[in-house]
Structure 1
Amino acid sequence: MLRFALFALLTSASVIATPLRSEPGRAAEIAQRFSDRRVAPHHVMVLAHRGGWLENGKPVRAENSRAAIENAIAMGVEMVEIDVRKSADGELVVMHDSWLDRTTTCKGEVERQSLRQIQQCRLVVEGSRPTMETVPTLRDLLLVARGRIMVNIDNKLGLDAVAEYAALARELGMERDVVVKENIWNESRLAAVKSALKPGVRFMPVLADDAVRSPGFATEVAESFDSTALEIVVWRQPDAPTLDGGPLFTPAMQAAYANSNQHVVVDTLSIVNTPGGLLAGGRGDRLGVGADLPGEAYGFWLDRGATMIHTDEPKAVIGWLEAEGRRIPYGLTN
């Protein structure tokens, strides 16, 4: 049982340095830090959205691609978020949209195409050029990541797919490194997710404050799973940046976070087809990178208990965190 309390306010680290990027044992230390926040309490972890595809607000790599993951590893990201769908013949493929049109050279619904058809498509840097990469399967990208970086699966399928993720993670020996997340918004959804979870993968519940307004329910969710992180989506304050963080960052919630060994993951990315100011209460990547006010964006959430940033701008976020002394090099905490 987890206590729903996740992190004390971060203080500056005494060491400012570039993380060691790919030395042997780093992946195991990432998993250790993710499992136990006390291992490096002043260190803020970074989760790269869709593998890490943006820089300064512009697509520079194909999302959910091998190239994106390789780049994330090179820059020192701890975890990449990827999206999983299924082909017509039941293969797990990595694709954000339900259609191929935006991110590949092909058109049509993913679920209506066989794996063979899908793998004839090349990934596209959005709004720009095709790459030489084909659409990867989940197995493909897990093999790229294995022993190097953790993987967060955004499940675009039903809860039944969790068993497939768990089986694949066990087969590849990645039980510690694969984290599946699911949004939870009410009691019936909570019960459904609990019954769907299978041994073989870690789990991270997601709470969004457009649906969850009660600290009591948030506490119940966090105490219902043997997870080491809770992802929080702040949607409120469309007209101006939030001043208090909203209902999931009340003083009582912050105090609860401070007493827990869980990570608090805050989403600072923007969502396709929604006003960018909504996510992170207007204190996300668009403010931190687009307006060059990282302290008003990322610093705001760290001051309220966040220990992990889920971002479209991992390069900029890591650079700012290092300058603030909030990154502890790997290899120094064993």
Structure 2
Amino acid sequence: MRAIIGGILLSVLLGCGLALADAGRVGEIRERLSSANQWRDHVMVVAHRAGGLQARKSRFPENSRAALADAISIGAEMVEIDVQKSSDGTYVVVHDTWLDRTTNCRGEVADRTLAELRTCQLVVEGTSIPTDEAVPTLAEYLEAARGRIMVNIDNKLAPDDLVGMTQLAERLGLADHLVVKLNLWNEERIAEAHRLIGLMPRGVIFMPIVADDAVRDPGLLERVTSTVSADAVELIAWHKDGQPMTPDGGPLFGTRARAVAVRGGWHLWVNTYGIVNKSAGMLAGGRGDQLAVEADLPGEAFGFWVDRGATIIQTDEPGEAIRWLDANGYRRPYAAGTQQAAAR
């Protein structure tokens, strides 16, 4: 009887093995997120706008499912996406409030019904070539990510819309795939974050954003992270035009801040992606993707931030970042495996 039961169980496991492997990968990513002090020798990679701005914006439309599939295939842990709302109340994945730059339509996203947005084809910005992919809904995007990769939402709406988005994910059984965030710089904002967290489903990870133009005291950083029980903090090291590159990472990557991170058990997250018409590396003390890829000095960008304690890098060049990190011993394999996670 034991052999029969064992055989039945084995058949079931073999029959759904791919699904189990997929679920396992997201579980492994969450475990590494929640156990920062055990994984400081592994650097996670987040594909900014799902990785749609790679290679001078020539490969995929930003926030597209094609970019999402690529991020999964290269082994990124997370995609960052931007969420707006249609005129009839559906959450859709698009960065700008208008459609002109990222699609072949014109006008405001909020003025279009979902049916109308379905007619808008995403465009590969660097080539101006329209694709067969329409503006996706948040629900569709989360389904495409199911079991394979985590999703970081950059909310372009009111803070309370984060609650609606997370409740949508809960209805899909995907609340545990989400990382949501809010910029925190004083007690009022910390209280707002605490209120929102209380309204969100269990399983959603909340992450503070802290920028060094407003927060320079590691004491406030400790207050922020302890109040919201942070697993990671998105840290902004601002860089202005004409300034030299940061020599030390600034106050949020200094010795005291890193000590706060270790005591709190959270990841230091750095953004190396560029901002249009702004100085290179504006969010990373001048040490961003342009320095890593266009100037071919990844050690002065990715390597610099790893040396300052960063264990999560959000980048427009996730493939380049993963290749360099892997070659230099900053990546540890997942048991579920990239190929299994990408196969569905």
Give the TM-score normalised by structure 1. 0.89
Cα shift readout 1:225-259 (whole Å, capped 9, x = no counterpart): 02211111111354221011112122211222234
Residues 1:329 and 2:330 are matched in the alignment: no
Structure 1, 321-330 or 158-167: larger mean CA deviation? 158-167
Q: What RMSD, in angstroms, separates the aligned Cα atoms of the two structures?
A: 1.8
- Please state which structure has a larger fraction of its residues in helix: 2
User: In terms of mean alpha carbon deviation, does 164-173 or 320-329 score higher?
Assistant: 164-173
**Alpha-carbon displacement from aligned partner over 1:291-318 (angstroms, at most 9, x marks no partner):** 1111111111111111110110000000
d(CA) in 2 for partners of 1:117, 1:276: 36
Q: Which secondary structure does the structure 2 equivalent of 1:57 belong to?
A: helix
In structure 2, the residue matched to 1:19 is: none
Q: Residue 273 and residue 36 in structure 1: after superposition, are their counterparts in 2 closer, same or farther (change >3 A)? A: same
Secondary structure of the equivalent of 2:105?
coil
Name the residue aligned to 1:298. 302
Q: Is 2:184 the partner of 1:181?
A: no
Pairing of 1:69-218 with structure 2 (within 5 A): 69-128=68-127, 129-197=129-197, 198-200=199-201, 201-218=204-221
Number of the residue aligned with 1:264 = 268
Report the alpha carbon displacement of residue 219 of structure 1 after superposing the two structures with TM: 1.7
Map of 2:6 onto structure 1: none
Distance 1:184 1:96, change over 3 A: same
Greater relative CO, 1 or 2 (CA 8 Å, sep 6+): 1
Shift of 1:161: 0.6
Task: Give the Cα separation in 2 of the matches to 1:38 and 1:257.
Answer: 9
- Secondary structure at the aligned position of 2:167 is classed as helix
Question: Gapped runs of 5+ residues in structure 1?
Answer: 1-21
Counterpart of 1:33 in structure 2 is 32
In structure 1, give the amino acid aligned to 2:310.
Answer: A
Secondary structure, counterpart of 1:279 in structure 2: coil
Task: Confirm or deny that 1:234 pairs with 2:233.
Answer: no
Instruction: Provide the rounded CA distance (Å) in 2 between the counterparts of 1:136 and 1:185.
Output: 33
Q: What do the CA deviations read for 1:100-147 (whole angstroms, capped 9, x no partner)?
A: 000000010111111111111000010320010000000010000011
- Partner Cα distance (1:288, 1:221) in 2: 31
Q: Which runs of 5+ in 2 are unaligned?
A: 1-19, 338-344
* Corresponding pairs, count: 312
Q: CA deviation at 1:38?
A: 4.3
Give, in angstroms, the shift of residue 189 of structure 1: 1.9
Give the distance between the partners of 1:39 and 1:243, measured in 2 at CA: 28
- Does the CA contact (< 8 Å) of 2:273 and 2:281 recur in 1? no
1:212 CA drift (Å): 2.0
Comparing 140-149 and 172-181, the one that deviates more: 172-181
Contact 2:292/2:300 (<8 A) preserved: yes
> Is residue 47–residue 78 contact of structure 2 (8 Å, CA) maintained in 1?
yes
Q: Which amino acid aligns with 2:70?
A: N
Q: Which moved more, 1:177-186 or 1:142-151?
A: 177-186
TM-score under structure 2 normalisation?
0.86
Query: For the structure 1 residues 192 and 259, does the alpha-carbon distance in structure 2 shift closer, same or farther, using more than 3 Å as the test?
Result: closer
